[in-house]
């Protein structure tokens, strides 16, 4: 082992939070760079992040699997073009095992906060394990807990009054058999449109409470043939060509998302025709007609959503929810819709997803305040006054048109470069300069002004005051370019002799 590696082993503990795509990518990339001194803290007892938590019927990815997977771990035998949740979860299990990451994970550890100590350049990470408060010291602190991890219950009067079964789409209660029941689904987003067709097959009566009609396009899903699987396995270049084809096809959509939303008219044309084709009843069709630019909210793909809504035992309720009662849902027109169960497909706490963590940086700076008030960051990865801390799937890195796994890999590569710089230059810490993050954030916000998300709809990409702290306003290859090199000029590089002090974990 080299002297440098020894320093890493002894003096460079790294804490990663979460074992979703982000945490796993980070761990693998660190290992590939020869850095093995990391611990992953995972609040659950299993890996997988969103692909562990979202087990609702019909859960699948709306990005093709051959692209929604790691470039360093291709899978040749995806069962479908858009694979189901269980297959993606088992792919992640495979990655964790193949790269020997499982033994680096401490399960059942919920991170509650972290504090930076300037003199040693260390983070003290606080977490709860089996009800006990514990701490770990880290030279680098990497947050891989995604924004789509905390379910958002709707702010509806009487939510707690309901006497039947009620659960969020991301916390599906598999003990409840909904067969033959009367069921309400609140929400018509990406989760709901996957759940509704499955419920439609088994329930006696299904009521879909729609606040905003989404754009729905046909999903080019299909079984992957045996020939394709064998070809992808035997001739890797065909697999890469297929992946590249999906990537560039998706990437072309960015022209409408971020260059000129008027280009979305073509997709709207397809969406309107699809609605006309699938829904013949003009009253229902009027209810389902979206009234915002496609892409402003997430564009949905389904071959069975409209087809379920037209069935006689399914109703789309658009009267607006007034309250939840003991027996069901009361709408503003005074009607009480009595149901046995309510599914809350109402999304996630996105804009303030870091607020549950108490993270204190330099001079007592609070991360939650920084993210909700200053709202500045650099590449969605680093934040001034929070040195040696790195966000995965951080602010302004979300997409509407392509695979998040591509963004995650770009981020993980960048974080490895930062850690190598800390090591090779023997820095105590690196802290992004305020001017650099200000310039970067201004540029991102300016570009977002002409994006589809600024075309006038309400979505989880926007905070209450309309600030878009979620979406990346460009092509994904632009993000790749921006993160490809570490520009150390953007960082204060601080050296203190305490660097050589042994870090002891407690």
Contacting residues toward ligand NAP, per CB under 6 A: 61-63, 148, 154-156, 169, 186-192, 209, 211-212, 297-298, 321, 345-348, 458, 460
Give whichever of 179 and 458 is closer to ligand NAP, judged by the CB atom: 458
Q: Whose CB is nearest to ligand NAP?
A: 189
CA distance to 70, 93, 246, 360, 467, per residue, from 370 (Å): 31, 35, 37, 10, 14
Residues 6+ apart with CB under 8 A from 294: 215, 264, 267, 268, 271, 452
Residue labelled with tokens 């699997």: 65
Q: Which residues of 384-401 are buried (b: 16+ CB within 10 A; e: fewer)?
A: bbbbbbbbbbbbbbbbbb
DSSP string over 399-458: -SSS-HHHHHHHHHHHHHHHHHHHHHTT-SEEEE-HHHHHHHHHHHHHHHHTSGGGSS--
**Residue 114 belongs to what H/E stretch?**
strand 109-117
CA–CA separation, 375 and 441 (whole Å): 8
- For the bound state, the minimum distance from the C-beta of residue 6 to ligand NAP, rounded and expressed in Å, comes to 42
Give whichever of 225 and 291 is closer to ligand NAP, judged by the CB atom: 291
401: tokens are 């048109």
- For the bound state, the minimum distance from the C-beta of residue 147 to ligand NAP, rounded and expressed in Å, comes to 9
Give whichever of 49 and 121 is closer to ligand NAP, judged by the CB atom: 49
- For the bound state, the minimum distance from the C-beta of residue 111 to ligand NAP, rounded and expressed in Å, comes to 22
Give whichever of 123 and 305 is closer to ligand NAP, judged by the CB atom: 305
Give whichever of 62 and 366 is closer to ligand NAP, judged by the CB atom: 62
Residue 3: Cβ-neighbour burial (10 angstroms; 0-12, 13-18, 19+): exposed
- For the bound state, the minimum distance from the C-beta of residue 282 to ligand NAP, rounded and expressed in Å, comes to 23
- For the bound state, the minimum distance from the C-beta of residue 9 to ligand NAP, rounded and expressed in Å, comes to 38
- For the bound state, the minimum distance from the C-beta of residue 194 to ligand NAP, rounded and expressed in Å, comes to 6
- For the bound state, the minimum distance from the C-beta of residue 152 to ligand NAP, rounded and expressed in Å, comes to 7
Give whichever of 216 and 436 is closer to ligand NAP, judged by the CB atom: 216
3-state secondary structure 232-276: HHHCHHHHHHHHHHHHHHHHHCHHHHHHCHHHHHHHHHHHHHHHH
Give whichever of 343 and 370 is closer to ligand NAP, judged by the CB atom: 343
Give whichever of 4 and 458 is closer to ligand NAP, judged by the CB atom: 458
Residues 6+ apart with CB under 8 A from 333: 319
- For the bound state, the minimum distance from the C-beta of residue 458 to ligand NAP, rounded and expressed in Å, comes to 6
């Amino acid at each position: 082992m080299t002297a440098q590696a020894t320093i890493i082993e002894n003096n460079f503990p790294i804490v990663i939070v979460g074992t979703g795509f982000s945490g796993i990518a980070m761990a693998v990339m660190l290992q590939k760079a020869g850095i093995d001194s990391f611990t992953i803290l995972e609040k659950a007892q299993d890996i997988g992040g969103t692909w562990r938590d979202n087990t609702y019927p019909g859960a699948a990815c709306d990005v093709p699997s051959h692209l929604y997977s790691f470039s360093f771990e291709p899978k040749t035998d995806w069962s479908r073009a858009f694979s189901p949740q269980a297959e993606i979860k088992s792919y992640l299990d495979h990655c964790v095992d193949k790269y020997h990451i499982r033994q680096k994970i401490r399960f059942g550890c919920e991170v509650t906060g972290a504090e930076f100590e300037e003199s040693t350049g260390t983070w003290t990470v606080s977490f709860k394990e089996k009800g006990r408060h514990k701490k770990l010291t880290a030279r680098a602190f990497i947050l891989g807990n995604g924004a789509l991890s905390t379910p958002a219950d709707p702010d509806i009067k009487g939510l707690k009054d309901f006497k039947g079964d009620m659960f969020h789409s991301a916390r599906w209660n598999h003990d409840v058999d909904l067969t033959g029941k009367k069921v309400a689904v609140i929400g018509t987003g990406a989760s709901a449109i996957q759940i509704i067709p499955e419920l439609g097959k088994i329930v006696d009566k299904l009521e879909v409470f729609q606040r905003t009609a989404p754009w729905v396009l046909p999903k080019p899903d299909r079984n992957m043939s045996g020939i394709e699987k064998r070809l992808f396995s035997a001739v890797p270049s065909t697999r890469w060509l297929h992946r590249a084809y999906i990537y560039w096809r998706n990437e072309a959509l960015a022209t409408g998302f971020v260059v000129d939303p008027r280009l979305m008219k073509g997709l709207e044309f397809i969406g309107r025709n699809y609605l006309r084709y699938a829904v013949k009843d003009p009253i229902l069709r009027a209810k389902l007609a979206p009234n915002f630019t496609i892409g402003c909210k997430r564009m949905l793909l389904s071959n069975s959503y409209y087809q379920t809504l037209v069935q006689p035992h399914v109703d789309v309720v658009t009267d607006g929810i007034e309250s939840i009662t003991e027996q069901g849902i009361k709408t503003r027109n005074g009607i009480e819709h009595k149901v046995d169960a309510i599914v809350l497909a109402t999304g996630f706490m996105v804009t303030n997803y870091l607020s549950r963590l108490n993270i204190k940086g330099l001079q007592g700076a609070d991360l939650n305040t920084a993210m909700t008030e200053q709202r500045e960051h650099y590449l969605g990865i680093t934040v001034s006054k929070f040195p040696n801390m790195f966000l995965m799937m951080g602010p302004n890195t979300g997409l509407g048109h392509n695979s998040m796994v591509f963004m995650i890999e770009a981020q993980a590569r960048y974080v490895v470069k930062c850690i190598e710089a800390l090591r090779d230059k023997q820095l105590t810490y690196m802290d992004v300069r305020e001017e650099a993050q200000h310039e970067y954030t201004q540029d991102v916000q300016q570009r977002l002004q002409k994006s589809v998300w600024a075309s006038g709809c309400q979505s989880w990409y926007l905070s209450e005051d309309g600030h878009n702290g979620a979406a990346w306003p460009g092509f994904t290859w632009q993000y790749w370019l921006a993160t490809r090199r570490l520009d150390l000029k953007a960082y204060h590089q601080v050296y203190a002799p305490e660097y050589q002090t042994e870090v002891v974990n407690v």
